[in-house]
Amino acid sequence: MELKPIETPKQLIDAAFSRASREAAAAKKPVQKERRVKVLELRKINIVSTFLEERLRAFVRDVPSIAELHPFYRELMSLTVDLDAFKKGLGHVESVAGLIKKLAREHARRVQGAKNDDLAWKARKQFYARVDSMVRSLEGSLSTLNEARKKLREVPKVRFDLPTVVLAGYPNTGKSTLLKRLTSSAPEIAPYPFTTKGIKLGYYSKKYLEIQVADTPGLLDRPIEKRNAIEKKALTALKHLTEVIVFVLDPTDGCGYPLDKQLHLLAEMRAEFQVPFLVAVNKADVARPEQLEAAKKAGNVIIEGEGLQSGLRDAVFAAIDWTKFNKREAVFTPVTFGEPAKTGKAGKAGSL
C-alpha cells in the first residue's frame, strides 16, 4: 500500500517561491509601464497560491476513503497507523490549502488597489509572509502523514480479484515446500505487519482460472492464546482475504511438534475461520503407516510427499466458491494509492 510522498514545509515554500520568481519574470510584460509592477506581483501571488493549493490538495485527494478500502486493508491500516492522527493531519492539510486560496484573493485585491508600486510590492510580501507561516504550521501534520506513508509500505499488495488459499500449520511442517509445489515457482515475499518473515504469495491456474496462495509465517503457526491483542487483530485482517485454508500436518517427528498438538491447532483454526478446510498430510513418503493413519483422523485429508501424485490442486479448486469471482481469466493491475486503477481485458481492475 503506497501513498505519494509529500515535501516538507520548507521544500514546499522554496519550490513555490522559486517557481513564482522564475515564471513571473519570464511572462510577457504589459505595454503600460505603470502597470508592470502590479501585474508582476499579481502573477507571483497567483503562481504561489496555485502551486501550493494543488500540491496540498493532490496529496489529500490521493488518499482513499478509509470506509471505501477493502476490509483486509482497513483492518491492517488501523493496526499500522494512528487513524485519528492520520485523519486530523489530512484535515489540517485540506484546511491550509483552502486558507491559502482565500489569502491569495485578499492580497490580490490589495495589489490591485495599491496607489503606487511600493504598496503593491508590500502587499505581495505580506502574502508571502503569511503563506510561509501557514505552510510551516503543517510541520507536525506532514510529519505524521509521512510516517504513516512509510508504515503503510509494510502492508502487502494482494489481489482481491482472485480467491486466496492460505496455508496454516506449525513451523517446519513443509508449508514453504508445499507452496512451491502448488504454484511451481518461487513465491513473492511481501511485508506483513507484526511478522518477521512477511507473507509469501504464489499463483497457479487451473481451467483458465487463477488462484492466489499465501503462506503467513508468524500468524497461523501457533495457538491463539499465545498471541497478543495486536497479533490477533492482524489475524482478523487475514480473515477478510481467506477463501480456503490448507492446514499442513507433519505426521513424522521431524517438525518438532507432536501430532496431537498439531491437531489441537487445527481444531482452533477451524473454530476461528468459517471457511472450508483441507488438511495436507505432508512428508507422507517418509511417515510410518501408523503415523499416517493417526493423521487421517483430521478429516478431509490429502496425502502429500516427495514422489507422490498430489491431488491438492484439484481439492483446492473444488473447495473455492467460484460464484464470488469472475470465471474468466483475470487480467489485473494492483491499485496503489496515488495511481489510477487500470482496466484489463476482463473488465475493471479490483478497486480498493
Residue 335 lies in a domain: no
Residue 85, domain member (yes or no) = yes
Question: Which domain does 276 fall in, by range?
Answer: 164-324
Residue 15 sits in a domain whose CATH number is: 1.20.120.1190
pLDDT at 42: 93
Q: Quick one: 130 and 186 in the same domain?
A: no
Distance of CA 118 to the CA centre of its chain: 52
pLDDT band with cut points at 50, 70 and 90 for residue 283: confident
If asked whether residues 215 and 103 sit together in one domain, one would say no
Mean pLDDT of 68-93: 87
Average confidence score pLDDT of the chain: 82
pLDDT higher for 330 or 236? 236
Is 26 within a domain? yes
98-112, 243-257, 322-336: least confident range: 322-336
Note whether 257 and 129 are same-domain residues: no
Q: Which of 98, 117, 152 is the last residue of a domain?
A: 152
Model confidence band, residue 307 (pLDDT cutoffs 50, 70, 90): low
Place of cell 520568481: 21
Rounded mean pLDDT of 69-93? 87
**214 and 278 co-located in one domain:** yes
d(CA 122, CA 352): 48
Give the pLDDT confidence score for residue 30 in this predicted structure: 62
Per-residue confidence band for 336, with pLDDT thresholds at 50, 70 and 90: very low
Q: How many domains does the chain have?
A: 2
Mean pLDDT of 207-213: 89
- Mean per-residue pLDDT, 134-152: 91
Highest mean pLDDT out of 10-14, 63-67, 202-206, 292-296: 10-14
pLDDT in tens, 118-140: 999 999 999 999 999 999 999 99
Task: Based on the fold, state whether residues 56 and 118 are members of the same structural domain.
Answer: yes
- pLDDT band of residue 14 (cuts 50, 70, 90) is very high
Exposure letters 92-113 (e unless 16+ CB within 10 A, then b): bbeebbeebeebbeebbebbee
DSSP state for residue 309 in the 8-state scheme: P
Chosen domain end from 129, 152, 175: 152
Give the pLDDT of residue 230: 66
Domain end point (choices 125, 152, 179): 152
Structure-block grid coordinates of residue 80: 499500522
Residues 291 and 270 in one domain: yes
pLDDT for 198 equals 67
Same domain, residue pair 196 and 281: yes
Q: Are residues 206 and 92 in the same domain?
A: no
The DSSP symbol for 28 reads P
Domain assignment present for 337: no
- Do 276 and 188 lie in one domain? The reply is yes
**Would you tell me how many other CB atoms lie within 10 Å of the CB of residue 173?**
27
Please tell me the predicted confidence (pLDDT) of residue 269: 87
H helices within the chain, ranges in order? 9-26, 36-62, 71-80, 83-113, 117-136, 139-152, 175-183, 229-239, 259-272, 289-295, 312-319
CATH number, domain with residue 237: 3.40.50.300
Q: Is residue 349 assigned to a domain?
A: no
Report yes or no on 340 lying in a domain.
no
> For 216-235, what is the mean pLDDT?
71
Same-domain pairing of 174 and 316: yes
One domain, residues 303 and 198? yes
Q: What is the pLDDT of residue 324?
A: 85
In a domain, 343, yes or no: no
Q: What is the mean pLDDT of residues 302-311?
A: 70
108 within a domain of the structure (yes/no): yes
Instruction: Look at residue 107 and tell me whether its pLDDT is greater than 60.
Output: yes
Within this chain, do residues 177 and 118 fall inside the same structural domain, yes or no? no
